[in-house]
Structures are given as C-alpha cells and as structure tokens.
Amino acid sequence: MREQNTRSGQSGQPRQGFEDSEGLRALLNRLHSTGRGAWRDDPEAAALMRHAAQKYAALAKKHGLDPWEAATAAFDAMRNPSVREAADPWAMVTHAVRITCVSEERGQGLLCSTSRARRPNYSVFHDAERFSDRENLLTDYHPAFQTPPPDAAYDDEPEAEPGPSSTGEETTSIASAVEDTIALFTLLGWPASTARAGIEYVCTRLAESSSRSSAFEALRRDYHARVLLGITGPSWLALLRTVLGHPDPDLTHTSAGRGVLLRLLIGEPLRVLLSDDALLAEVVLSAPGHTGRRRD
C-alpha cells in the first residue's frame, strides 16, 4: 500500500491520501483518466465522498442543509478540470461548497431556484414573508403599497368646488397641518424623507384610532414600522411626543400635551411653534444622527 494511504494523523486514525491537496489531485486525475463509471465503482471515491460529508457537515448545518447536500456540491466541484489544475484543490472545493450552501439557503428564503439565487440581481432581496407574520399589515404603511391620487387631467368628471363650510376646507386644513409638521422637523435637522415617511405614517394610524392616546400607545409598540422607517427608539418616541403630544395626563391641556399637529389645527402658526424652546430642543435632540441626543 502506498505511504500516503497509511499515514496516521494526531488522532491515531489512519489518514487517507486524498486528505491533503496533492493526494486529492492524484485521486481526481486517476478517476478522470479511468473514464466512465469510475466514481461509481471506485472504493476510494466512495471514501472521498464520506470524508467530504464529514468535512463540510458544520458548514452545511450553518446554512440549514444536510451534510450530504454539501458532499454533493463537493462532488460537482471535483469533476471540474479547474479543481484538478488548481494550486490548492481542497481550497477550490471548499470555496465552491460554501457558495453552493449560501445559494441553497438564499434560494429557500427567496422561494426560487439555487441557480437564480446565485445572481446578484436576485440575491439582494430579503427573504419572502407572509403579510400575516406582522402585527401591523405592511400594506398599511409601506410606500410600495401606496397609490398616488390620479392626475386631474385623467379625471372623468371635474370636481365641484367646495363651499366655505364643506369638508374640502377641512381636508385642506389637515393636509396643511401635516405639511407644516413635516417642514418643522426638516428645518430642525431631520432628513426630509425620514420626517415625511414617519409623520405621514403617524397621521395614518391616528386617523384609524379612537383617540390620540390610543394612537400613541399603539405606535409606541409598533416596532416593525419603526424598523422599516429606519428610526431609532429614542427618536421614534420623541417624534410621537412632538406630533401627538405627551401622554402624561397632567400635561393634557399644555402645549406639550397637545402636540404639534393639534396646535396647528387649532390655529397656531408655524412661526409660533418655532419660538417654543422646549419643542425645538425635543426635535433637534431627537434628529437621526444627532450626537447629543438625550436619553429617555
């Protein structure tokens, strides 16, 4: 028997010749030269596959796969001429197995084939998830599911002009208050896109709630929305306190208890809000990225 097939490792177990790169190269060259049926009938090839299953078992487990799935990926790699000609055949096999395991895991998450999951234009997406997995429906607040109002040029019938006491004037007042609130946050250091997305979502949930206090409590626990909007916990709480008002019952009839949105709706102009030092400090210190944010 050849010397490389009888060497023993530190554990005392007999070491196979293919466990080092040169031994693997020699075995792969022999199997390649033998031709058709060599992998099926050669006992050393069977031992190589058992060794590959053991060698990559931890890698397979990390990606939720069976060890023999990793061994199959190793088998596919070993049949390529590039592995036989590589400076380190085992390194090439390990690299190929790792890529296959990652692609298998991504394919299961994306509900697509492994070959498609290998492509960068598919692998960048997050794993598929059910709408029912979330406490709050994604369609309620994610911009991708919002439909903009139709352009006036495509309206079938012209809208009737609202009278002085109609709901159109009330809607305009609410829309103006929301825009002024967004402008306030933007002027005081909040990114425009973050301020708009966060405030519009708060207003949407407020319209669905029975009161400002119930809306505040529901939004305070809305972790998924906060993560999707990209707002940290302290900034999210500060935004809720500023827009909806502080939840403390003792502050109900104060400026802090009313909140910016209500103060604008009852007639306070934006310039008055900009003179409220406590309000300005709350918004500025809670701006995302502000290094001097206070702890809550």
- Per residue in 184-204, pLDDT (tens digit) is 898 888 898 888 998 888 888
CA-to-CA distance for 74 and 38, rounded, in angstroms?
Answer: 16
Mean pLDDT across 160-178: 59
| Residues in contact with 204: Cβ distance below 8 Å, sequence separation at least 6, in sequence order | 140, 141
Tokens matching residue 251: 């502050």
Tell me the sheet residues that pair with 14.
8
- Per residue in 258-289, pLDDT (tens digit) is 888 888 888 888 888 888 888 888 888 888 87
Higher pLDDT, 38 or 83: 83
Could you tell me the maximum CA-CA distance found in the chain, to the nearest angstrom? 103
Residue 85: half-sphere exposure toward Cβ, Cα within 13 Å: 3
At residue 58, what is the residue type? Answer: A
Whether 194 and 231 have beta carbons less than 8 Å apart is answered as: yes
CA-to-CA distance for 173 and 167, rounded, in angstroms?
Answer: 10
Higher pLDDT, 136 or 113: 113
Query: What does the pLDDT read at residue 111?
Result: 81
Mean pLDDT across 159-176: 55
User: Which residue's structure tokens are 């990225």?
Assistant: 289
Helix axes 233-244, 277-285, angle to 10 degrees: 150
Q: Model confidence at 49, in pLDDT bands (50, 70, 90)?
A: very high
Q: Does 37 have pLDDT greater than 80?
A: no
| Residues in contact with 27: Cβ distance below 8 Å, sequence separation at least 6, in sequence order | 17, 18, 44, 45, 48
- Per residue in 144-166, pLDDT (tens digit) is 666 655 544 444 444 444 444 44
Helix axes 167-187, 255-265, angle to 10 degrees: 130
User: Which residue's structure tokens are 């809670």?
Assistant: 286
- Per residue in 116-134, pLDDT (tens digit) is 877 777 666 777 776 666 6
CA-to-CA distance for 254 and 130, rounded, in angstroms?
Answer: 43
Higher pLDDT, 91 or 13: 91
- List the one residue out of 233, 243, 228, 237 whose CA is nearest residue 136: 228
- List the one residue out of 188, 181, 169 whose CA is nearest residue 261: 181
User: Which residue's structure tokens are 């234009």?
Assistant: 121
Continuous segment of H or E residues that includes residue 180 = helix 167-187
Query: What does the pLDDT read at residue 131?
Result: 62
Query: What does the pLDDT read at residue 147?
Result: 60
CA-to-CA distance for 163 and 56, rounded, in angstroms?
Answer: 75
Share of the chain above pLDDT 70, in %: 76
- pTM: predicted TM-score of the whole model, two decimal places: 0.41
